[in-house]
Amino acid sequence: MKNVSFATVAAIAVAGAVAASPASARDQIRIVGSSTVFPFTQAVAEEFANVTGNPAPVVESTGTGGGMKIFCGGVGEDFPDITGASRAMKESEHKACMDNGVDSVTEVLIGYDGIAFASARKGAVIDVTIPQLFQALAAEVEVDGKVVANPYKKWSEIDASLPDVEITVFGPPPTSGTRDAWVELVMEEGCEAFPAIEALEGEKKDQVCARMRTDGPFIEAGENDNLIVQRLNADENAFGIFGYSFLYENQDTLEGEKIDGVAPAFETIADGSYPVSRPLFFYIKNAHRGVIPGLDDFVGEYVSEAAMGDGGYLSERGLIPLGSEQRDAVRGDAEAGNNMTRYGS
């Protein structure tokens, strides 16, 4: 359960800050975090405002890593109440929270999402394997039994069955949870197919498996996935990496490409056949409950059946819902303010 004594002390501290500086007193919930989770949180914020008449929460797309840094910065009205994440909180981030007095946090698993590899509908079509994606995007690859700087400029140089066009892939920056998930599910998985890389030891192997190339074919496009969508529509030979919800919202102009023979879709992500899928979360700062107006009601709306249930309005935006029993458990933890215990807190 949440740390009641800490929450009480924090409430007094936050309330004191509000009283001391009324001009800066905050009557809106503040949320930061993942660009993938952003459209879901924005939808809940709009519904919350419509239903309650409260001001809509301020939702900022800062990336998962950036959101964690801001969220874990401290307790008080200057710090956000919630952060969205397209991966679980890391142990180092949890430690930063603890070090800054944010020692009661509830983790909420809202559902699942696929990471789409997509292009414009008028553009190139590709059916690519995870090892081939590693070869296209890694800074170093195996060639003739040696690990060398990536020489591949065209997809067809990797395999003759792939398009004879230059490799151009727009993707997320290192602060993005989507980037973290892509590295884990594609890069680190793909590198295992190459014996010379597998033979590397320790940090060197980790670096080769995780490091994206910086010589041009892979282009970091910032935290705004809509910019990637625009760039794909401007370049018919380019591909993009982003959350499935953005593909879902732009099906009129974009098409998901097959990875290991399976295209990203609601059904293939839900049944696990699409190989690049991941959980989505948000994290609540429990010290702000009962202090920031409407925070508990907002959390209740987010975990409601109307929002995250089967056929809920978040599934209409591309979220893959949890099973009913798992939703009930998540809802119970969120509404009770149960402290996450993954790292022993």
Locate all alpha helices (DSSP H) within 53-176, ordered by sequence. Answer: 64-71, 91-99, 130-137, 155-158
CA–CA distance, 124 with 162 (Å, rounded to integer)? 10
Same domain? For 121 and 245 the reply is yes
Contacts of 160 (CB under 8 A, 6+ apart): none
Average pLDDT, the chain: 90
CA–CA distance, 160 with 193 (Å, rounded to integer)? 18
Instruction: Give the pTM.
Output: 0.78
CA–CA distance, 228 with 131 (Å, rounded to integer)? 23
Residue-wise pLDDT for 117-166, tens only, equals 999 998 888 999 999 999 999 999 999 999 999 999 999 999 999 999 99
Contacts of 297 (CB under 8 A, 6+ apart): 48, 52, 54
Token pair for 40: 């879901």
What's the rounded mean pLDDT across residues 54-59? Answer: 96
Radius of gyration of the chain (CA): 21
The pLDDT of residue 75: 95
Query: What is the domain count for the chain?
Result: 2
Residue-wise pLDDT for 186-226, tens only, equals 999 999 999 999 999 989 999 999 999 999 999 998 777 77
The pLDDT of residue 345: 57
- 74 in any annotated domain: yes
pLDDT at 9 over 80: no
What's the rounded mean pLDDT across residues 316-323? Answer: 91
Same domain? For 88 and 182 the reply is no
The pLDDT of residue 202: 87
The pLDDT of residue 255: 95
When pLDDT is cut at 50, 70 and 90, the band that residue 7 belongs to is: very low
The pLDDT of residue 84: 97
The CATH number given to whatever domain includes residue 52 is: 3.40.190.10
Contacts of 278 (CB under 8 A, 6+ apart): 86, 87, 112, 113, 114, 115, 181, 185
DSSP code of residue 60: -
What's the rounded mean pLDDT across residues 90-117? Answer: 96
- 157 in any annotated domain: yes
Same domain? For 131 and 205 the reply is yes
Supply the range of the domain harboring residue 208. Answer: 114-277
Same domain? For 108 and 131 the reply is no
Neighbouring-strand partners of residue 213: none
Same domain? For 185 and 267 the reply is yes
Token pair for 174: 């290192």
**Residue 74: how many other CB atoms lie within 10 Å:** 15
Same domain? For 242 and 159 the reply is yes
Query: Residue 69's closest CA among 80, 77, 59?
Result: 80
- Minimum mean pLDDT among 38-42, 175-179, 309-313: which range? 175-179
CA–CA distance, 276 with 297 (Å, rounded to integer)? 33
pLDDT at 105 over 50: yes
What's the rounded mean pLDDT across residues 85-97? Answer: 95
Residue-wise pLDDT for 249-275, tens only, equals 899 999 999 999 999 999 999 888 999
The pLDDT of residue 25: 53
pLDDT at 168 over 60: yes
Same domain? For 249 and 313 the reply is no
pLDDT at 23 over 80: no
- 342 in any annotated domain: no
The pLDDT of residue 10: 44
